[in-house]
Structure 1
Amino acid sequence: MRWMRLGMGLAAAAVAAAAGWQFFRPSKVSVVAPMRGDAAEIVYASGVVEPLVWAKVTPVERERIVAHCNCEGQRVEKGHVLARLDTSQVDAMIAALKARLNLSREEYRRQSVLSERNVGSQQALDRARAEVVQFESLVAGQQARLEGYVLRAPGDGVVLRRDGEVGEVAEPGTGLFWVGEPTPLIVTADVNEEDIPRVSVGQRTLLRSDAFPGRTLEATVDRITPKGDPVTKAYRVRFRLPEDTPLRIGMSTDVNVVVRVAPNARIVPTVAVDGDRVFVVENGEARLRTIRTGIRGPAGIEVLSGLGDDTRIVSPFPAQLADRARVAVTAVTPR
């Protein structure tokens, strides 16, 4: 019994020692040192490349396409016929109205003769005259409507794109042609209303496009639409592209407006900062420290004070770690 009690006591002591070692052993953390570089305050948006001068040609009537110019990529002059829609129904209506107009004119002439002979009433003559005027207006209205069945170039330019084929039905408001000048090009983007006060004409802008991976392209803020959209809570901003830009009409881009640049700034990873707090490693302990920050970005944060260039910062920020907890550095994250 005595040996059994001794064995049990040794086992309990071993368990307690193991638990204590687990409790007091240092927490493993990775650290990173601040780096020096240019910190930029950026306003983000997404945009589309467009010509500065262009127009979309859409039909106003729902009808079948019977002809188109097949002039995509070619230069056209204002008024050039781009497409024609089927006018058979309108032509039939005009023919019927003209027949009614001829009958009303004959009736008006007959009533005029009767009125001159004093055998017809003035009321009948007025009624015949009104019918003539009515049918003349109806014929003129339908003839004017025929112009809507002809799609013309709204101005001089290049046919940038054509949609719709002969035989297809054109829907009102659907773009069939895009006519404009291929250059100069702009990027049109919607900027959130909370960011628009920081955007001004002339600011440098960096662009990224999936068509040119790893390549940073430049633009300049050209115009800001005075009225914002209260539904999307955004303002339309246009960015002027240089003449040698590789971007093409219709490409989508990520827009980064450079608001302010802090040169040679002390920068730490964003994931290492919780509000204005960081953990630093000193003498094998994690010390919670308050810092003063400046420009904040998705990857890095500018530190104005509270850290030195050689300070070792725990990254990412260990939310479960207590101040002055013992730590063991397992890795130094490269910057």
Structure 2
Amino acid sequence: MRYFRYLLILAALGAAFSAWSWWSARPPKVTVTEAFIGSAADVVYATAVVEPVNWAKVTSILRERIVSLCGCEGMVVQKGDQLAELDSGDARAALAELEARQSLAKSESERALQLLERRVISQHLYDRAQSELIQVNAVIAAQTERLRDYRIVAPMDGVVLRQDGSVGEVAETGDILFWIGQPKPLQLVAEVNEEDIPKVAARQTALVRADAFPGQDLTATVSRITPKGDPVLKNYRVYLDLPKDTPLHIGMTTEINIVTLEKPETVLVPVAALDGQRLQTVSSSNTVETITVETGITGNRHVEILDGLADGDTVLLPFRDDLSDGQKVEPVAEGTPE
């Protein structure tokens, strides 16, 4: 009886070992996909801001208190229309003082002329009186011209896109108080990395994405590139024209992909299938073979294969370092449930 029990145990162990050996020798399952024909595009990514093509920033060239504002944000203005006025009290007081000096200098000049005609004074004294009058007149002209700077006026015809500052605040020199421009046409102003700028050229199309319009296919066209880059930020400014019917608003931020090269029909595989220039194919007998290919355009999801692979070839996804050439595998199509 005991001998029979030992035989049963040995048989069970043998069956378990046989099952384990069969399972160990079973080819590993691998995910595969097929190379396919599709469109490949080489793009340059950048961020951009929507701006009018024709516009101006209006600043103060004086540090003075604001005494009046037009309150015309969003309104149409003409070139020369007053937008704001700065406190000119001190400047007008200085002008009044100069005008008093002018009156005195004029009287002195007239009196000197009379004395010169009567030969009471010399020509030199008359010339000095005349010179003082000329100097005062010149200073008055300069002060009168300076008073114009206290009136901030529109530099162009357009719409007041934005107004900053409040009455009573001190306008610092260079502070932007108004943005004036024409609502149409609009453009994108992008900052492109200096490494990518050699690929960018005029008339290229850019795909535009804006958070304000999710899901909408927006486009722009490269119009020009600034000749000089920023050596600190290492980028170049690129201007892109927007279509007339664009829904974008002035000041919106966008992300753009400038299409620098596009191939409508080329062989593509997923990026994860590649290890540098290598990828693994699966033959009709389900064995692995590592091959070297020539790649072209590399996108976020797919890579163009220029040579070494054909449409419909089966490749491993992702690349498997643990598999050797000639090894048997059990391919499972991408997306197939286990």
TM-score, reference length from structure 1: 0.81
1:202 — aligned with what?
Answer: 203
Change (3 A) 1:106 1:321: farther
| Residue pairs, 1:50-61, within 5 angstroms | 50-61=51-62
Q: C-alpha separation between the residues in 2 aligned to 1:195 and 1:254?
A: 15
Pick from 297, 300, 306: which aligns with 1:298?
300
Per-residue deviation, 1:241: 1.4
**Residue 313 of structure 1 pairs with residue 316 of structure 2:** yes
The question of whether the paired residues in 2 share the 8 Å contact of 1:66 and 1:85 is answered with yes
CA deviation vs aligned residue, 1:123-179 (integer Å, no higher than 9, x gap): 322222221111111111111011111111112111111111111111222221111
Q: Which piece of structure 1 moves more, 147-156 or 186-195?
A: 186-195
Per-residue deviation, 1:207: 0.7
Change (3 A) 1:149 1:333: farther
CA deviation vs aligned residue, 1:205-231 (integer Å, no higher than 9, x gap): 211112222322112222334x22252
1:243 — aligned with what?
Answer: 244
Change (3 A) 1:294 1:125: same
2:173 — aligned with what?
Answer: 172
Change (3 A) 1:70 1:288: same
2:162 — aligned with what?
Answer: 161
1:229 — aligned with what?
Answer: 229
**Residue 259 of structure 1 pairs with residue 260 of structure 2:** yes
Q: C-alpha separation between the residues in 1 aligned to 2:158 and 2:187?
A: 17
Q: Which piece of structure 1 moves more, 227-236 or 252-261?
A: 227-236
Change (3 A) 1:117 1:235: same
1:17 — aligned with what?
Answer: none
Q: Percentage identity across aligned positions?
A: 46
The question of whether the paired residues in 1 share the 8 Å contact of 2:272 and 2:317 is answered with no
**Aligned residue pair count:** 312
Q: Which piece of structure 1 moves more, 253-262 or 322-331?
A: 322-331
| Residue pairs, 1:82-101, within 5 angstroms | 82-101=83-102
The question of whether the paired residues in 1 share the 8 Å contact of 2:286 and 2:331 is answered with no
Q: C-alpha separation between the residues in 1 aligned to 2:330 and 2:150?
A: 76
Change (3 A) 1:267 1:124: same
Q: C-alpha separation between the residues in 2 aligned to 1:290 and 1:85?
A: 73
Provide structure 1 residue ranges, at least 5 long, that are not aligned to the other structure: 1-20
Change (3 A) 1:100 1:331: farther
Q: Which piece of structure 1 moves more, 236-245 or 278-287?
A: 278-287
| Residue pairs, 1:1-335, within 5 angstroms | 31-225=32-226, 227-229=227-229, 231=231, 232-281=233-282, 287-308=289-310, 309-315=312-318, 317=319, 321=322, 323-324=324-325, 333-334=334-335
Per-residue deviation, 1:122: 2.7
**What is the DSSP-based 3-state SS (H/G/I as helix, E as strand, rest coil) of the residue aligned with 1:172?**
coil
1:15 — aligned with what?
Answer: none
Q: C-alpha separation between the residues in 2 aligned to 1:312 and 1:270?
A: 12
| CA-atom RMSD in angstroms | 3.0
CA deviation vs aligned residue, 1:79-116 (integer Å, no higher than 9, x gap): 11111111112112112222222222232233223222
The question of whether the paired residues in 2 share the 8 Å contact of 1:84 and 1:150 is answered with yes
Amino acid at match of 2:290: L
Change (3 A) 1:136 1:247: same
The question of whether the paired residues in 2 share the 8 Å contact of 1:267 and 1:302 is answered with yes
Amino acid at match of 2:302: G
Q: C-alpha separation between the residues in 2 aligned to 1:29 and 1:168?
A: 71
**What is the DSSP-based 3-state SS (H/G/I as helix, E as strand, rest coil) of the residue aligned with 1:176?**
strand
Amino acid at match of 2:141: A
**What is the DSSP-based 3-state SS (H/G/I as helix, E as strand, rest coil) of the residue aligned with 1:151?**
strand
**What is the DSSP-based 3-state SS (H/G/I as helix, E as strand, rest coil) of the residue aligned with 1:60?**
coil
**What is the DSSP-based 3-state SS (H/G/I as helix, E as strand, rest coil) of the residue aligned with 2:191?**
strand
Amino acid at match of 1:228: K
Q: C-alpha separation between the residues in 2 aligned to 1:325 and 1:105?
A: 110
The question of whether the paired residues in 2 share the 8 Å contact of 1:26 and 1:325 is answered with no
Change (3 A) 1:233 1:116: same
The question of whether the paired residues in 1 share the 8 Å contact of 2:59 and 2:173 is answered with yes
The question of whether the paired residues in 2 share the 8 Å contact of 1:25 and 1:326 is answered with no
CA deviation vs aligned residue, 1:191-249 (integer Å, no higher than 9, x gap): 34443443333222211112222322112222334x22252454433222112211111
Change (3 A) 1:205 1:110: same
Q: C-alpha separation between the residues in 1 aligned to 2:151 and 2:335?
A: 65
Amino acid at match of 2:292: T
Q: C-alpha separation between the residues in 2 aligned to 1:237 and 1:280?
A: 43
Per-residue deviation, 1:26: 8.3
Q: Which piece of structure 1 moves more, 81-90 or 276-285?
A: 276-285
Q: C-alpha separation between the residues in 2 aligned to 1:201 and 1:334?
A: 41
Provide structure 2 residue ranges, at least 5 long, that are not aligned to the other structure: 1-20
Change (3 A) 1:61 1:28: farther
Amino acid at match of 1:88: G
